[in-house]
Amino acid sequence: MSDVGTAERALRCLDLTDLTDNCTDQAIDALCAKALDPRGPVAAVCVWPQFVVRARETLRGSSVRIATVVNFPGGGEDVGRVTDDVQEALADGANEIDLVLPYDALRRGNPAIAAEMIEAVREMTDQGRLLKVILETGELKEPALIEKESRLAVDAGADFIKTSTGKTPVSATPEAAEIMLNVIKASGRPVGLKPSGGIRTLADAKIYLDLADRIMGPGWATPQTFRIGASSVYDALIAAIEGRASTAAVGTY
């Protein structure tokens, strides 16, 4: 596939993201305007819970979905607080919930709390709404732990498994994504993958698309099964579509 074709494919799979600590209403408006670019549109915008209503109003009538984060970024273990936050986000109009798994519990050898949290949120995200479970693979580090956490999330009902919050020193890596894709393939369930954080260039995006094509088969990676969590890659994708060179932009995670 040409660079233009790869860039167009990646753009349609993009969760255009602003999870900066100083995000404003004006930044959300700009994010949503990018999301609606006719060369896309992107799959979704991913914003803090307090901006869901504004994004919903700005994107009303479009195909762009609204994702928000819960238990983010720390991956706490209070299931009741998480479900309260999810309920509020869904009431505000979120279509997709990106839930940080309590990965420290898994490292301690206590997966039960993680499974309980996913299952509780799973029960709430119905009617076409998606649950994306963030594994924070850069903190787990060990391949065996990443595989175990991936299987737990898939078995507990995740619609997508996502590598990272983008808030840790190590975010998405091809090695983690490969483990996650192999778990998805072995499960036989229609679960998607979302590499997230540190994806800044067309070459970065292509690595993950190529991985998905190799493991899951050509054509598997669509917005229904594959997302890229980033904003810094947006300008690079637009530049490639327009035939321009681009330098990596500063990320907005």
Q: pLDDT of 22-62, one tens digit each?
A: 999 999 999 999 999 998 899 999 999 999 999 999 999 99
Tokens of 22: 């100083």
Confidence of residue 246 (pLDDT cuts 50, 70, 90): low
Q: Which is the catalytic residue, given 15, 34, 132, 162?
A: 162
Q: pLDDT of 103-115, one tens digit each?
A: 999 999 999 999 9
Tokens of 132: 């994306």
Confidence of residue 252 (pLDDT cuts 50, 70, 90): very low
With a cut of 70, say whether residue 207 has pLDDT above it: yes
Question: Structural domain boundaries of the chain?
Answer: 3-241
> Average pLDDT, whole number, for the chain?
95
Confidence of residue 245 (pLDDT cuts 50, 70, 90): low
N- to C-terminal Cα distance for the chain? Answer: 29
**Is 98 one of the annotated active-site residues of the chain?**
yes
Tokens of 120: 């509780």
Non-local CB neighbours of 251 within 8 Å, separated by 6+ positions: 166, 198, 200, 230, 231, 232
With a cut of 90, say whether residue 1 has pLDDT above it: no
Q: Which superfamily does 3-241 belong to? A: Aldolase class I (3.20.20.70)
Q: pLDDT value at position 116?
A: 98
Q: pLDDT of 153-170, one tens digit each?
A: 999 999 999 999 999 999
Q: Which is the catalytic residue, given 15, 34, 132, 194?
A: 194
Q: pLDDT value at position 212?
A: 98
Q: pLDDT value at position 4?
A: 96
Alpha-carbon span 142 to 138, nearest angstrom: 9
- 251 or 106: whose pLDDT is higher? 106
Q: pLDDT value at position 67?
A: 98
Q: pLDDT value at position 251?
A: 40
Quickly tell me which residue has 């940080």 as its tokens: 100
Alpha-carbon span 113 to 239, nearest angstrom: 44
With a cut of 80, say whether residue 235 has pLDDT above it: yes
Which segment of 119-123, 144-148, 238-242, 249-253 scores lowest on mean pLDDT?
249-253
Q: pLDDT value at position 248?
A: 44
Q: Which is the catalytic residue, given 98, 132, 159, 204?
A: 98
| Residue 251: other Cβ atoms inside 10 A | 17
